[in-house]
Chains A and B, each alone.
Chain A
Amino acid sequence: MPEGILLPGQLPKTPDPVHRPENDLDIELLQKVSRKDESALAELFERFKGRVLNLAYRYMGSRDDAELVAQDVFLKVWQNADKFRGAAQVWTWIYRITVNLCLTRKSRKELPTGYLDDKVPASEAHQPVEALERRETEGLVQRMLETLPPEQRMAIVLAEYEQLSYEEIGRTMNKTPRAVATILFRARDNLRRRLSPFQKRGLI
C-alpha cells in the first residue's frame, strides 16, 4: 500500500473540521482508481462532474473550455490518484486540480472568451424577451468577471457559486483565510465599480 493512502474507514491524521462520511467513499474510490480501476473513476466522475464542470464554466466563461478542463481534471485524477495523501478531503483535492488547470489554461488564452461564445443556440432563438435579456446580463456579468485578475476571479467563483467558506477557499487556492478575505474584498470592490454604471442606468 503506497505511503499516505488511507484504508477505508480510517481517518486522516489531521482530521478535517468538517468531516463528511461521503469522504470515506471518495477515498475508497480513489484507492481503486490508483489501482487503475476504471469503474471507480466512472463513479468519481458521476459524483463530481457537475461541480468540476460548473467551477470551470464560471471561471473560463465558455462551455467548450469548461468541458476541456473537466476532461483534464479527471485525467489528472486517473494519473495521480496514488499521490493523494489524505490530509484534505477528496473533493478539496479535486477542486484544487480544477483551479490549477483553469488558471493555467486561461493564462494561455490571448483573448477573453465571450459568454457561451456569444452564440444564441437555435433552441433559444424564439425564447421570450426576458430570457434573451437574462442572457445579455449573464454575458455582461461574465465579461466583468473576466476583467478581474485570476486570483480574484477564482476566489469570487468559489465564494459566490460554490458557496465555500474562507477556510475551504484557502485550502483550494493554497491561501490563508485572511488572504482569501482580502482577495474577495478587492474582487467585490472591483466588480461593484465596474457594474455600477450599468446598474445606475437600470440595465442590470
Chain B
Amino acid sequence: MGVNHRRVGLLLSRYVDRDLNDHERSGLELHLKECVSCRDQLQEYQSVSRCLAISAPIEAAPYLWTRTRQAIQDSMQPVGLMARLRPALVPVAAAALVVMALVTGFQLTRTVSQGKRQMEIQAINQDFGDGTAPVLQQIVPDDTLDEDSLN
C-alpha cells in the first residue's frame, strides 16, 4: 500500500493509538522500513507518549467523600429569597457604589474649585484702604508666560 506523505502524520498518530486495521497497519509498517523521516516522526510521537506517562496517578484523599457529601447536603438546603437574590444584588450594589463615588468626587471638585475662585475674587477685590478701585486682573495661566510677556 502506498503512503501519502500528506496524510502520514494522521496515520502515525492512529498507529500509536492502535486504531489502524490489519491492512492499514501492515502497509504503514512496510513503508516505515523504507522511510527515515516517517520513522523519525513516529519515534517523536512515541516519545510524547513516554513523556506523558511520567506523570503518576493520584489517590483520592479520605476527605474527598466528606466534602462531596457536604456539598450535596448544602445543595438540598432550602434557599431563601435573599440568598437567591444575592448573586444579582452584589454587582448592582457595587455599581451603585461606583456611581456614588463618581458623583461625590465631581461635587467635591466643583465645590473646591468654586471656593478657590471665590477666594481669588475676594483677593482681587480687596479694598487697599486708599479707596482706589482695584483693576481686575486676568489671571494668566503659567503655561502662557513667555519671554515677550515678561518683558
Q: Which of A10-18, A69-77, A91-99, A104-112 is the interface stretch?
A: A69-77
Complex formed: what's the CA distance from A139 to B1 in Å?
A: 41
Taking a contact as CB atoms closer than 8 A, the residue among B68, B72, B75 that contacts A70 in the complex is B68
Interface locus among B8-16, B107-115, B127-135, B138-146 = B8-16
Would A166 and B19 be within 8 Å (CB), given that A71-B71, A191-B48 are in contact? yes
How many residues in A have their beta carbons less than 8 Å from beta carbons of B?
Answer: 44
Looking at the complex, which one of A54, A71, A166, A196 makes contact with B68 (CB distance below 8 Å)?
A71
Decide if A189 is an interface residue (CB 8 Å cutoff). yes
- Which of B16, B48, B71 is within 8 Å of A75, CB to CB? B71
Interchain residue pairs with CB less than 8 A apart (26):
A42-B69, A45-B65, A49-B64, A50-B60, A57-B57, A58-B55, A66-B58, A67-B64, A67-B67, A70-B68, A71-B64, A72-B71, A74-B68, A75-B71, A75-B72, A141-B51, A156-B52, A160-B49, A160-B52, A161-B52, A161-B55, A181-B10, A184-B17, A185-B10, A189-B9, A195-B51
Chain A 43-79 per-residue mask, 1 if CB under 8 angstroms from chain B, else 0? 0010001100110011000010011001110110011
State the main secondary structure of chain A at its contact with B.
helix
Whether B98 is near chain A, meaning CB under 8 Å from some CB there, is no
Q: Does A22 contact B (CB under 8 A)?
A: no
